[in-house]
Amino acid sequence: MAYNKQDLTEMVSESAVDRRVYIDPDIFELEMKRIWGRAWIYVAHESQIPRPGDFFTTVLARQPVLLVRQDEEHVNLFFNRCAHKGAKVVELESGRASLIRCGYHGWTYRTDGSCHSITGGEQAYASQGLTKSSPCMSLGRVPRVDSYRGFIFASLASDAPQLRAWLGPTATSIDNMVDRSPEGKLEVTGGVLRYHHDSNWKFFIENLNDMMHAMIAHQSSAQTARVIGKRLFPEGTTAPPEIQILAPFAEDKDFFEKMGVHAFDNGHSYSGGKTSIHASYSGIAEYDAAMEKVYGKKRTNEILSLNRHNTIVYPSFTCKGAIQTIRVVKPVAVNETVIESWTLKLVGAPDEMLHRSILYCNLINSSANIVGPDDYEAYHRIQHGLRTEGRRWIANSRYVGAETPNDEGGYSATGSSDMVFRNQYRTWLNYMTGEQAARGERAS
Amino acid sequence: MRAGPTLQALEQYLYREARYIDEKRWDEWAALFADEAEYWVPASRGQPDPKNHVSLIYERSLLRDIRLQRYRHPNAMSLQPQPYSVHLISNVMLDSFDGDSGVCVVNSRFIMLEYRRDEQRTFGGAVTHTLEISDKDWRIRVKKVELVNCDSTLGNIQIYF
C-alpha cells in the first residue's frame, strides 16, 4: 500500500513500533528513498584507495557506485553506470586504472568522471548539439561525498548536513579507533567477510546495542567457552585470546546493565564506555610501549581505557574501536541484508594486535562463526514471527523515561533500557515523514 | 623409510572422515585430528595465511572443542532444527609423501549437500589433507577446505565441510 504521512506517524509510538516496519516491502522501498537516500552512508576507508587511479566499487542504498582516487586531494564517487547504455562500467571490486573503460562499446572516462573518448567519435552526436564534454556524457556523481578521519561517507541528498556535525558524538568512537594507532593511522587489511542475512536490516542495527540478548542467545558458544576455558586455564593462568573474546558474551545481566547505552541525534548510539565485553583482554606489552612512546602514559591510558562496545552511526555504519573492526549494513530487500565486516590495522602497532582483530572477526563475524548464527536465527524468527496479524506492536518500552542527559549532548541509560531503539525509531519517523533531523532521546 | 599409502587406503580414510561428519559422530571425528591440528576454510582465493587475513573458519583444538561442545548445548537456538549434510568425495590424488616422517599431502574435491529447515544448499571445493601416517594410526595435521565460492556472500554455515 501507499503510506501517507499519517499512516507512517501511526506506526511509531513513544514506546513501540508497528510490525510492518520490518515486513512490508513498500515500507522498505520508502526507507531506501527517505532514509538511505538522505542519510550519510558509509562507503569505504581511504586506505583502500591510497594512490591516484585506485578504485573501489560498492553499493549505496542498493545502487552500484564507483569510488576513485583522482589525486592526493580528490576522491570521487560516481554511479557505476556507463553514460552511454547504462552498463556497469567497472565490475571488479577494486584495482587501479588511469582510464575507466566500458566493456560494452568502449567509451572511456577519466578518473574525474569526464568522458575521454566515444568509440566512433563524438560527431555522431553533433546533430543533438552534444560533444563528449557535455555533462550527460560523463559519469554521474553521487551528490555528497565527505570523509571523517579516513572513513568515507556519501549522501544521495544534495542538502545533507555537514558530515562531522551529523556524526555528533559518535565521531569520538572513530577518533578513539584512530587514536589507538601509535601513528594515528588506520589501514583496512585482511579481506572482508560478507554475511548474508534472511531478515530486515533494522534487526541487526538494533541488536548491536541490545544488551539483554547476549547472555541468552549466545549461551551455547560463550558459556561453553567459559566452561572449557576454566577447565584448561585455571585461575592464575592467562586464557588465550579465543577464550578472552568468547567468554564475556556470557557475562551476567549486571555486567551489561553497567555497560550502559548512550543515544544521540540522528539515530546514533553506542553502548559501553567505562567497560565492555572487550575490557578484559590481556595487554600486549610491545603495543603499550609503542603507544606510551608517542602519547605518554596518561594519554595512552585514556585512549585504551575507553571501552565502547558497539557504536552505531545510523543506519549504515557500526564500529568497535576496542578491537578495530567495522560492520557495514547493506540492505537488499525487506527480508534480506548483507553485513560486511572489515578489519582495521593499527599502523605502527605490533602484528599481534592485527592478529587479535582478525581472530575476533573470524569468531564473531564470519558466516561460519559460532556466535553470529544465533543472532541470525533470532532475526529470522522475528521476521517470521511478525507475520502474526493478531499483534500489531513490538514494544520498546523497557525503562521509558529513566534516561538522563549525558555530557555529550545525548541521553544515557542502564544497559537493558530500550532507549536506543526508541531513539532509532524517532529518527526513522523523522526521515520517513520528512521532518528535520531527529532530536536525541528526551527524558520523558 | 616406509612405503607410501595406497590410493584406496587414502580414499577410505577421507570417506570415513566425511562419514563421521555426516553422521554427527563428533568424538570419533575429533579423534582423527592430531594435537593442535588445524582446520582452515579461507575466505579468499589463494589466501596465503590464516593470521593476517580473515577466514570463514580457522580452528585448532581449543576452538574445535568449543564448537563441538556447542553442538550438544540445549540452548543453541540456531541448531534447532539441526543441519544435516551429505558429502561426496572424489578426485583423490596423493600430492606428496615423506617416507621418513610419514607426512603425506592428499588433495581431493568434494560436494556437500546441506539441509536445514526446508532449505537445501550445495557447497563444493578442493580439500587438502596433511596426514601423519604411522603403523599405529593416521592423524590429520591440517585440513584445508578451499570453497569454490569462498569469497561469496554466505549465510549461516554451521557444519564442517
Q: Which pLDDT score, from 0 to 100, does residue A345 have?
A: 98
- Shortest CA distance from A377: residue in chain B: B78
The per-residue pLDDT for range A172-220, each reduced to its tens digit, is: 999 999 999 999 999 999 999 999 999 999 999 999 999 999 999 999 9
User: Alpha-carbon distance A406 to B106, whole Å?
Assistant: 61
The per-residue pLDDT for range A325-357, each reduced to its tens digit, is: 999 999 999 999 999 999 999 999 999 999 999
User: Alpha-carbon distance B41 to B158, whole Å?
Assistant: 13
C-alpha cell at A267: 539515530
- Shortest CA distance from A368: residue in chain B: B157
- Residue where the block lists cell 555522431: A124
Which residue spans within A305-392 are E strands per DSSP?
307-313, 317-320, 325-333, 336-346
CB within 8 Å: B153 and A370? no
Average pLDDT over residues B132-155: 96
Q: Which pLDDT score, from 0 to 100, does residue B49 have?
A: 94
Which among A189, A195, A362 has the least Cβ separation from residue B58? A362
Average pLDDT over residues A258-272: 97
Average confidence score pLDDT of chain B:
96
Which among B47, B56, B77 has the least Cβ separation from residue A217? B77
The per-residue pLDDT for range A293-304, each reduced to its tens digit, is: 999 999 999 999
CB within 8 Å: B52 and A354? yes
Q: Which pLDDT score, from 0 to 100, does residue B2 have?
A: 73
Average pLDDT over residues B132-157: 96
CB within 8 Å: B63 and A242? yes
* pLDDT value at A442 more than 60: no
Q: Which pLDDT score, from 0 to 100, does residue A383 have?
A: 98
User: Alpha-carbon distance A411 to A420, whole Å?
Assistant: 9
The per-residue pLDDT for range A74-103, each reduced to its tens digit, is: 999 999 999 999 999 999 999 999 999 999
What residues of A are in contact with residue B67 (Cβ under 8 Å)? 370
Q: Could you give the percent of chain A with pLDDT greater than 70? A: 98
Average confidence score pLDDT of chain A:
96
Q: Which pLDDT score, from 0 to 100, does residue A439 have?
A: 40
The per-residue pLDDT for range A105-145, each reduced to its tens digit, is: 999 999 999 999 999 999 999 999 999 999 999 999 999 99
Interface test with chain A among B118, B153, B154, B157, by most A beta carbons within 10 Å? B153
Interface test with chain B among A370, A371, A375, A382, by most B beta carbons within 10 Å? A370
CB within 8 Å: B63 and A351? no
Closest to A35 measured CA to CA, from A342, A274, A315: A315
Please tell me which residue, A241 or A435, carries the higher pLDDT value.
Answer: A241
DSSP state of A317: E
What residues of B are in contact with residue A243 (Cβ under 8 Å)? 62
Q: Which pLDDT score, from 0 to 100, does residue A443 have?
A: 33
User: Alpha-carbon distance A296 to A177, whole Å?
Assistant: 17
Q: What ipTM does this complex have?
A: 0.96
Kindly indicate the confidence band of residue B25, based on its pLDDT and cuts at 50, 70 and 90. Answer: very high
Contact (Cβ atoms closer than 8 angstroms) between residue A28 and residue A3: no
Which among A242, A377, A381 has the least Cβ separation from residue B62? A242
Residue B13 C-alpha, separation from nearest chain A C-alpha, in angstroms: 25
* pLDDT value at A258 more than 50: yes
Q: Could you give the percent of chain B with pLDDT greater than 70? A: 99
What residues of A are in contact with residue B65 (Cβ under 8 Å)? 228
Residue B19 C-alpha, separation from nearest chain A C-alpha, in angstroms: 20
Q: Which pLDDT score, from 0 to 100, does residue B3 have?
A: 80
Helices A351-364 + A285-304 axis angle, to 10: 70
